[in-house]
Structure formats: structure tokens, C-alpha cells
Structure 1
């Protein structure tokens, strides 16, 4: 019988995380449950696998625990958007994802992004993305995954560019206004939007949407929705091992895998620093 340490976030999505323990046992595993904030203890518990049940914002800490202890990680998506699972190809059906978590043998090695020391798997962004997430929070109960594109539309109609200085591996690539600065691993975000990124290449994908007219912003927003914004004029797209971000206004939030994180929690000497751990952990994918 395979032993599993289960990290669960009962606040994700419709609360399906509470059913996961039973489904894992039904699939043939012995399960020791842990609350999400005890991810270090879960990873060090001696289990054969670490399983996390939650939305995108729950996954970074689980991946960090798996990376530290050398454990394979399995994801059971129970959030609203579940962008990571959709990008990687993990089943969105809870029972099927639990079966994969217990019985799957195929693994994929992935990198782990960090912003201010906080782990992330999809994207960390400043500008439009945090505002869109804030609007989406008020709509999730009524619209589900559609809350994210609707929130993005609202943000695009009311947001203003942020003034920032962005460096890639020590070289300044942008100094001025930007609608959005995104640092990506998988590149999936916002309930189906995406950036061109490879979570297995050991590099962060930096995308800066330069400040411009609101009309052009609508084109950029459509490009992000269909995954082609990098090819548009007014968009900077580079790959980096490290990224540094300086902002004129410290009273901002970053959207980190769908979670709003105050800039003050991530700043070090006035700079937000992003880094990547190549080949950090193994994910059960098949």
C-alpha cells in the first residue's frame, strides 16, 4: 500500500479538497492528512508521495516541500481555475486525479520559481493581473472560472500603467511605464490565459507589456487570452535566470499563482527579486 502525505486547502473552489482523503484511500493508499501551512512537516513525514489538493495558489509550497525532501508530487486540482493542472494535463475530475496520484508512475521534472523567497509554479505578475484577480474574487461564487476573464475586462477598463524598472540577469530591459510585468514558469494564469513558457527549461520567462493606449491594451489582453502576446509590438519577451523589479509605488500587490501578495512582503532593499531552481521536483503526470 502506497503511503501518501496529503496537503489540503478546504477553502479552494467548491470545497472538494475535503473529499480527497477518502478518494485516495479508495484508490489504495494509506493517507496522513496535513493542513496546507504544515507543508514542511508533510514533506518530511516519511511518506512515499506528497499530494496537494487545492487551487493554483496552494501548489507552490507543496512543490517546495517536494523539492526539499526529494519526494514525487501529485496534484489534485480542487480550485476555481486550476491553470497549472490544465497546462500540465492533470485530470480535472477529482476521482481521476486521485487515482493518478496513487497509481501514476510517469513523472515530469519541473523547475520551481521564487519571488521574494515565495515559491510559485505558474506566473507572478504586477500591474493588470493583481487588479484582475481582485475583481475576480468577488465573482467566483457566481461565475466560477469565468470570473477571471470578466475580472480582466474590468481591470483593463479602469487600470493605469505602473512605473517600474525591470532587469533580466543584471541587464535593464525596461525602465518606464508598463501595463503588466509577468515572470512565468508554466505561463498559465487567469482561467485560461497563457504566456509562452517552458516549466522544464530551468529559465524564467519575463514578459513586459509596455505602457500604451487603452485601445492597444485590449489587443494585448486578447493576445494573452490566446497565448500569442509575445509576438505583438510593445511587448518585451526574454528568458532569465534572475529578474529584478523596482517600482515607484510600493503600495502595490503582486498576483502570485492567483494569490494577491502585498509588495511589502516581497521587497528586499527596495527590490523584488525572482529566481528559479531548475529541475527542482518531479510531478506525477501519468
Structure 2
């Protein structure tokens, strides 16, 4: 009989993930799998469980948790060529990867989607230094501000919690001297914010990288320059209209490899969690994950 592993973070979604464990197991079992459930207790548990699934020859891995948990599962799978199929049920605050795939954000609907998932698609992921990412790498004051969002804020406000903290940095409008090396070219920019996205959905906005596809082999880079008062008023409408890359204060780059350096110390945010300091070397791993989707 085929083997499946469900990797579940019981604290995700204000502990809602644990409430749906039995339903997830039932759906996976009905697909013809013998199911093993692994529950995370600390950081990197999901990565270790995913590696275990690969090494023990599991056929299917299903994640259940927030953006950080899903990143950990994919990190565990990404190291290997002989990967099992992968699906997930999102219980996060923003759930960008789920949005890009088309997975419903409500648990009941997401589990119903999982039940009907029967098509394999190879999807891209990114690698930044020695880490993997599926959604976004961000740097700048806005990215750092997301570290201040607490669990209670996320539970109460959802994605709005991140927007509120990010908005606090707009008045300061701090910029950073950055060097981008891409395609044999060196680009110098003074940037307020840099966003590197793998899919169309970034920070819950599904029209930032409108050209992005799950398997296009590229990352989509948005370098936001210093914003004056009126610029701030025009950025959000450009995002909502799907015209962010065309904004006069945005330098857009589409590439499969990129290096970012700075003379200043600058932290990053990788898939919603604290990432490496600069310098960064980013590459695309094309069609690297065996996604099972509807």
C-alpha cells in the first residue's frame, strides 16, 4: 500500500490545524494511502519529518500549517531528487503559496480541495544562500517591521497586522544603498524596499507580480526607490491595478539568478520569517517540487 505522511503544526491557525487533523487524515486515506501523522513541536521539526519521508520512501507528503511550516516541509523535500508528491492545507496568516496555487484559505474548503487534488505539476522554488523559499524574500525597513508582529496580532487582525507594522515605516522612509548583480550587469540603486517574489501573490496581494507563474523559471524583483509624499498615495493603487512593476518609483527585474550586496548592514525576511543578512545570492530551482493539485 502507498505511504503518506501528514506533517501538522498543531499550533497553526490559533491551534485550528489540530482540530482538522482527523479530516485531513481521512481524505488522504481515501486516496489509497496508509497515513502516518507527525506533529511539530519546535522549529525545523517539519523539515526533519519531510527528510524522513524522503529517506523512508514515502509516496506523498501533506503539510498542514502556516507559511513557516510549509516552508520547512518544502525545505526538507527540496534537498532530494527522489521526492514524494506534495500538497498542503494552509493555516497561516497570509498563505501566499496557497493563493498562488488556488487552494482555498478556509480549512473546510481547503480539505475539500485536497480531496480532489489529482494532478501533478512541477513547480519552481527559490534558493537564497543556503535556504529555500517558495513565496518571497524581502529587505528594507518594511520587511524588518514584520518581525514585530506578534501571534495575538496575527490571530486578531490576519494579514492586516503586517500592513499596520509596515505602514509605520513609511514616515521614516529610510533608504539603503544596494548593488544588484544580474545577467552580467551591475545595478546600483538607493532602495526603500526590495521584494523578490516567486509567485503572483506577495503579502496577500495577488496582483503584484502579475506575470509570475508557478513554473516560469524566474523570480520577480521589485526595487522600490525613495518615496515622496505623493508617491506613497500612488503605490497602493498600482498594486491593486496590477501595475506595480510599471510604477515610476519601481525598478522591475525578471531573472533566474541574482546577487544583492550593500555597504550597510541589512536584514531580510524569507517567507515571513527572519532571514539572512546581506549579501544574498538567489537562484531559481525550476520545476523542483512535485505538487499534487486540483
Band the TM-score falls in, shorter-chain normalisation: 0.7 to 0.9
1:244-284: CA deviations, max 9, x gaps? Answer: 0002222x321111112241xxx5xxx21001111111212
- SS of the equivalent of 1:16 reads helix
Q: What's the offset of the Cα at 1:231?
A: 1.0
Contact 2:6-2:25 at 8 Å conserved across structures: no
Counterpart CA distance in 2 for 1:116 and 1:129 is 21
1:159-184: CA deviations, max 9, x gaps? Answer: 411221112233123x1310111211
Match of 1:169 among 157, 175, 183: 183
User: Unaligned regions of 5+ residues in structure 2, if any?
Assistant: 41-45
Contact 1:66-1:72 at 8 Å conserved across structures: no
- SS of the equivalent of 1:158 reads coil
1:152 corresponds to 2:166: yes
Counterpart CA distance in 2 for 1:56 and 1:227 is 24
Counterpart CA distance in 2 for 1:102 and 1:47 is 19
TM-score when normalising by structure 1: 0.86
When residues 221 and 170 of structure 1 are mapped into structure 2, their CA distance, relative to the original with a 3 A threshold, is farther
1:220 paired residue number: 235
**Any residues of structure 2 matched to 1:127-142 within 5 Å, and which?**
127-137=140-150, 139-142=153-156
Counterpart CA distance in 2 for 1:134 and 1:273 is 22
Match of 2:245 among 230, 250, 253: 230
Contact 2:125-2:198 at 8 Å conserved across structures: yes
Match of 1:113 among 126, 140, 146: 126
Counterpart CA distance in 2 for 1:49 and 1:71 is 5
Please identify runs of 4+ aligned residues in structure 1 that moved more than 6 A.
none
1:31 paired residue number: 35
When residues 28 and 245 of structure 1 are mapped into structure 2, their CA distance, relative to the original with a 3 A threshold, is closer
- SS of the equivalent of 2:171 reads helix
Aligned pairs, number: 278
Contact 1:24-1:99 at 8 Å conserved across structures: no
Counterpart CA distance in 1 for 2:114 and 2:68 is 19
Counterpart CA distance in 1 for 2:241 and 2:67 is 20
Counterpart CA distance in 2 for 1:226 and 1:151 is 23
1:181 corresponds to 2:189: no
1:62-92: CA deviations, max 9, x gaps? Answer: 2243442322110110111112112211122
2:13 paired residue number: 13
1:88 corresponds to 2:88: no
- SS of the equivalent of 1:284 reads strand
2:270 paired residue number: 256
- SS of the equivalent of 2:58 reads coil
Counterpart CA distance in 1 for 2:3 and 2:215 is 27
Q: What's the offset of the Cα at 1:37?
A: 3.7
Q: What's the offset of the Cα at 1:222?
A: 4.1
Counterpart CA distance in 1 for 2:54 and 2:224 is 38
1:276 corresponds to 2:284: yes
Counterpart CA distance in 2 for 1:20 and 1:71 is 23
Q: What's the offset of the Cα at 1:108?
A: 2.3
Q: What's the offset of the Cα at 1:206?
A: 1.5
Contact 2:12-2:91 at 8 Å conserved across structures: yes
1:205 corresponds to 2:220: yes
1:191-239: CA deviations, max 9, x gaps? Answer: 3363332231111112111224243134224433554210111211121
Moved more, 204-213 or 26-35: 26-35
When residues 180 and 276 of structure 1 are mapped into structure 2, their CA distance, relative to the original with a 3 A threshold, is same
- SS of the equivalent of 1:156 reads coil
Moved more, 114-123 or 145-154: 145-154
Root-mean-square deviation over aligned CA pairs = 2.4
